[in-house]
Structure 1
Amino acid sequence: MPHGVAREDFQTALAEIRKIVGAAWVFTDPEGDLQPYLDHMSAVPPETRMPSAAISAASVAEVQAVLQVANQYKLPLWTYGNGKNFAYGGPAPKQAGYLVLDLKRMNRILEVNEESGYCLVEPGVSYYQLYQHLQEKGYKLWIDCAAPGWGGMIGNALEHGAGYTPYADHFLFSCGMEVLLADGQLLRTGMGAMPGNTSWQLFKYGFGPYVDGMFSQGNFGIVTKMGFWLMPVPPAYKPFMVTYENEDDIGPLMDILRPLKMNMVIQNGVVIEHISYSASVQRLRKQLWDKPGIIPDERWREVAKELDLGMWNIYGALYGLPENVEMTWQMVQHELTRIPGAKVYLQGDRPADDAGWNYREKLMRGEPNMTEFNLVNWDGGGHLNFTPMAAMTGKNAREMFNTFKELLNRHGFDMICEEVAMFRTMITLVMIMFDPRDEDARQRADACSRELVAIAKQHGYGELKANLTYMDIIADMYDGQGGALRKVNQVIKDALDPNGILSPGKSGIWPSNWTGPRT
């Protein structure tokens, strides 16, 4: 049962919701139709976050009606759009007993404007769906997608997700939202607040305060529509990969890369994969190491040679007029090969069946695929992602890699990681990979995760997003100025959602009248 809700009230509420969305779209069987709403990849048993029910709404009107019922009976709703967001909790709610509000049926592509380069979509629209739509219609536009092509565009942007083209910051390249507030009030942000306007998906700000960010990575409203800028197909596209022989090369490489990114010489979201990340996509752990303990450094060096890769491997691309791309490439190549032993690979240089190159090359031109999802097979399927951020410097890159490697190895886990270079920051994606059916491994993964957050805090590395289990301790990292940020979030939460029904605990934001557990 949802906390504080009597069983009789709960059953009455579900009966009313069935009339709204249809009986076929209310799921209540823990052994059957609720199973897709569990997270089987985290360090806690899936059943600890079993929802009391899941509701699949098909329209804004249906969601509004569900909100009326939820407010009447004080039902906590955990909103879920599309994709799974595995490693961060998947589709599961923060706590057992919540009702999952599933928006996958709201999956219309409402508009694509080729002339101005934008789209307007609902929460259930995936990268695959939009990509296929653009191909079928012949639009000369690219999308920017997350690595798993099944992901929902809105959900990923609201979680501050990133991609691999010049439009890599998905929230930055969004424009205009439609939001349902907890009381059912419909809100359109930016120019969408002006009836009859012609630039809702063109101008982000409108008049007055810019409130869109308030509805990202939080629980102040339910986003039902969102606009995205799409990239016109460039005249030329030049993908490249450069490999580096030594683990310590990450320091000078990041210092070389920083001015190239700051000056937008390399425009796209650049990925620098450690060999461990490359290998986890292309191989199973047991194929590389069948002995006890972590994979030692010397074995990783052997794996790099076997896959014809370096200890670090950078994937980037240039876009624009052919002559400009070639001119720019001469400078980029010169800079990225200043490190001894660097090797450059261009289109056609790798074998046709090179899985690593093929999926990265597709992502950098906006073609969704699922290749990277192979990594869930690495060691039993369990994995927890952490994304500490820091200034893009060689010192930070070395320090982050060495610190987190020591931590993971000490807890008995391989250091699986990559670096993502955005505009002026680098995101270190650290993956704790384990078998969730192994109780000892799960406990070690949880202990390692908590220590990782604490160490990141000590070094001043803020987390980009959080697994459900660690949302509160990560929110606690942002405790400056007497906890002012959390206090502001609390005021907003209580003002917009006085009954506290929208995703209680999301990103560490709880209703002030919440009396239940905060796990």
Structure 2
Amino acid sequence: MVGAHTFKPLALPPKLTTAEFNEFIQSIIDIVGNENVEVPVSKDQIRDGSYMNPTHTHDPHHIMDQDYFLASAIVAPRSVEDVQTIVGLANKFKFPLWPISIGRNSGYGGAAPRVSGSVVLDMGKNMNRVLEVNVEGAYCVVEPGVTFHDLYDYLEANNLRDKLWLDVPDLGGGSVLGNATERGVGYTPYGDHWMMHSGMEVVLPNGELMRTGMGALPDSRRAETMGLRPADQPWNKTAHLFPYGFGPCVDGLFSQSNMGIVTKMGMWLMPNPGGYQSYLITLPRDDDLKQAVDIIRPLRLGMALQNVPTIRHILLDAAVLGNKTSYSSKTEPLSDEDLDEIAKQLNLGRWNFYGALYGPEPIRKVLWESIKEAFSAIPGVKFYFPEDTPENSVLRVRDKTMQGIPTYDELKWIDWLPNGAHLFFSPIAKVSGEDAMLQYGVTKKRCEEAGLDFIATFTVGMREMHQIMCIVFNKQDPVQKQKVQWLIRTLIDECAANGWGEYRTHLAVMDQIMGTYNWNNSSFLKFNEVLKNAVDPNGILAPGKSGVWPSQYSQITWKL
């Protein structure tokens, strides 16, 4: 051993002693070096950090006690081989691992592990290369640490931006790979990130390396693979063109799951469309949401709406432009009259629809005429292009986002309240005005009962809508945090009763949400548990992720 240490971590995994922890961690240090291992031993090390400098010890937007979900150590492997070795040691010691990409899973738990005492495996610190950008096939291959901004910079530096665009979410600092495996979304026509992946390389819980889809077929250039370790061997030339391959398509087992650690992923990029125009349509009344959604549905299904458009509540836009005290001295939720006044002040609607047009000018012109005519059926709507709005308008920000340029302006709405933190509540609904109004009514009512302002957006997919409700709270106010817990737990059950399930969630409510996916005596969860116990018999990989627990963990004890 090199320079043996003795640590007293702030949290230990279940059933492991301090001596076993130190033996495990020393073995890890011998593999990756001191500089790639961090062991928090003092509460002074538990700092919330920021989006740009994320903490990996816990959830910086903690809705429970700050140290409720706490890592025993943070380990950054340098290579696929390091990951395999660490997985092997974890099996030997029965030590739980919690893999992350960047640690910016903001609003869903950050980098925090579901089981306190787990080692957070920081896949992004060292494994952060853009391995390939293929112009002809319009795809890239990335490691976990490649952020959207990194990939954008790569395209710019290699003069590829005129050929290929990427799709970005609201914030540009997240992992391309991590966001896709969590089924995150962006706002160009390539906005469904999981749909746009093709070919994954995965370290399985037994340490074996696997490539999925066409990647399971060896590359035809056999001579070039001689002597190379599996992780360094070239991919089959169709691995990133056709995601399904032959036989069962297993990629989904590594999405929002604890079945493997994704080390590489192919992602499709969008060919430069040859023209672009963003726009804003303001809807003056609260109940215009119903008519707008019914207008949107046929336009989206018919692809007149080419991208992933959003219908943003007035307070989401207002919060990007200022905190609550800049609009009102109230501490209670703002009234309809207050919201109307803010909308008037900002020259916005109670709801604001952001979309974009892609392609040569004649195509954009025809699409815009169709969209404008359809929305003109709503009395009082107004139409804007970026140049019609102030320099600091949200449309100017969305103009960049919807053409794949990373931004960070959306961070500002977290400061709506002092000591601002946030929790996302993300139910799915059909693209129907009636459903939208019903879901809006349920979520807004409960939000106001909790003493919080309703801040949300409807993000429109092909045939469904994600409501992304931004629950902003003061993380230094324990009473408010209790109300936030009540709010999300109440909404989960009420939305499930209406047939609206969440597509992604925070650590604290993964069990409850999986419990709502209980058709036919919870056959879905049972199937996942069978798979989990088969591929991970020692239960080392992200126990409890998405509500799937290995048999070593009593569900009575561990479910929240």
TM-score (norm 1): 0.98
Match of 1:19 in 2: 30
Once the two structures are superposed, the pairs formed by residues 358-437 of structure 1 within 5 Å of their partners are 358-379=396-417, 380-437=419-476
For the 8 Å contact 1:13–1:69, the answer to whether it is kept is yes
- Amino acid aligned to 1:148: L
Once the two structures are superposed, the pairs formed by residues 121-270 of structure 1 within 5 Å of their partners are 121-139=142-160, 140-196=163-219, 197-270=236-309
- Amino acid aligned to 1:160: R
- Amino acid aligned to 2:19: E
Give the whole-Å Cα distance in 2 for the aligned partners of 1:83 and 1:360: 24
For the 8 Å contact 1:30–1:50, the answer to whether it is kept is no
1:300 pairs with 2:321: no
1:507 pairs with 2:546: yes
Give the whole-Å Cα distance in 1 for the aligned partners of 2:517 and 2:32: 39
1:355 pairs with 2:396: no
C-alpha RMSD of matched pairs (Å) = 1.1
Match of 1:49 in 2: 69
Q: Secondary structure at the match of 2:388?
A: coil
Give the whole-Å Cα distance in 1 for the aligned partners of 2:45 and 2:80: 23
For the 8 Å contact 1:404–1:452, the answer to whether it is kept is yes
1:440 pairs with 2:479: yes
Q: How far did residue 83 of structure 1 move?
A: 4.5
Give the whole-Å Cα distance in 1 for the aligned partners of 2:78 and 2:170: 27
1:346 pairs with 2:385: yes
For the 8 Å contact 1:242–1:343, the answer to whether it is kept is yes
Match of 1:473 in 2: 512
TM-score (norm 2): 0.91
Match of 1:314 in 2: 353
Q: Secondary structure at the match of 1:344?
A: strand
Q: Secondary structure at the match of 1:47?
A: coil
Give the whole-Å Cα distance in 2 for the aligned partners of 1:30 and 1:423: 48
**Identity, % of aligned positions:** 39
Q: Identify if the C-alpha distance between structure 1 residues 121 and 10 changes in structure 2 by more than 3 Å, giving closer, same or farther.
A: same
Q: Deviations over 1:75-119 (max 9, x none)?
A: 000111015111110111113211101111210100000111000
For the 8 Å contact 2:164–2:269, the answer to whether it is kept is yes
Give the whole-Å Cα distance in 2 for the aligned partners of 1:19 and 1:474: 40
For the 8 Å contact 2:168–2:406, the answer to whether it is kept is yes
Q: How far did residue 74 of structure 1 move?
A: 0.5
Give the whole-Å Cα distance in 2 for the aligned partners of 1:428 and 1:269: 13
For the 8 Å contact 2:279–2:395, the answer to whether it is kept is no
Residue correspondences, number: 518
- Amino acid aligned to 1:106: M
Q: How far did residue 33 of structure 1 move?
A: 5.7
For the 8 Å contact 1:381–1:436, the answer to whether it is kept is yes
- Amino acid aligned to 2:127: M
Q: How far did residue 189 of structure 1 move?
A: 0.3
For the 8 Å contact 2:189–2:307, the answer to whether it is kept is yes
Q: How far did residue 346 of structure 1 move?
A: 1.5
Q: Identify if the C-alpha distance between structure 1 residues 264 and 30 changes in structure 2 by more than 3 Å, giving closer, same or farther.
A: farther
Q: How far did residue 234 of structure 1 move?
A: 1.0
Query: Structure 1: which 5+ runs fail to align?
Result: none
Give the whole-Å Cα distance in 2 for the aligned partners of 1:322 and 1:291: 47
Q: Deviations over 1:282-310 (max 9, x none)?
A: 11011112123111110111001111100
Q: Which moved more, 1:318-327 or 1:72-81?
A: 318-327
Match of 1:333 in 2: 372
Match of 2:123 in 1: 103
For the 8 Å contact 1:40–1:436, the answer to whether it is kept is no
Give the whole-Å Cα distance in 2 for the aligned partners of 1:355 and 1:370: 14
For the 8 Å contact 1:48–1:95, the answer to whether it is kept is no
Match of 2:39 in 1: 28
Give the whole-Å Cα distance in 1 for the aligned partners of 2:277 and 2:41: 50
Match of 1:451 in 2: 490
Q: Secondary structure at the match of 2:121?
A: strand
For the 8 Å contact 2:290–2:432, the answer to whether it is kept is yes
Give the whole-Å Cα distance in 2 for the aligned partners of 1:497 and 1:95: 16
Give the whole-Å Cα distance in 2 for the aligned partners of 1:83 and 1:363: 21
Q: Which moved more, 1:29-38 or 1:502-511?
A: 29-38
Give the whole-Å Cα distance in 2 for the aligned partners of 1:451 and 1:220: 30
1:488 pairs with 2:527: yes
Q: How far did residue 30 of structure 1 move?
A: 4.0
Query: Structure 2: which 5+ runs fail to align?
Result: 1-11, 48-54, 220-235
Give the whole-Å Cα distance in 2 for the aligned partners of 1:425 and 1:3: 41
Q: How far did residue 354 of structure 1 move?
A: 2.5
- Amino acid aligned to 1:79: P
Give the whole-Å Cα distance in 2 for the aligned partners of 1:27 and 1:517: 26
1:39 pairs with 2:62: no
- Amino acid aligned to 1:60: V
Q: How far did residue 214 of structure 1 move?
A: 1.0
For the 8 Å contact 2:61–2:422, the answer to whether it is kept is yes
For the 8 Å contact 1:245–1:341, the answer to whether it is kept is yes
- Amino acid aligned to 1:25: N
Q: Secondary structure at the match of 2:133?
A: strand
Give the whole-Å Cα distance in 1 for the aligned partners of 2:301 and 2:86: 46
For the 8 Å contact 2:414–2:420, the answer to whether it is kept is yes
For the 8 Å contact 2:386–2:395, the answer to whether it is kept is no
For the 8 Å contact 2:276–2:358, the answer to whether it is kept is yes
Aligned counterpart in structure 2 of residue 67 of structure 1, from 75, 82, 87: 87
1:517 pairs with 2:558: yes
Aligned counterpart in structure 2 of residue 112 of structure 1, from 113, 133, 154: 133
Match of 2:21 in 1: 10
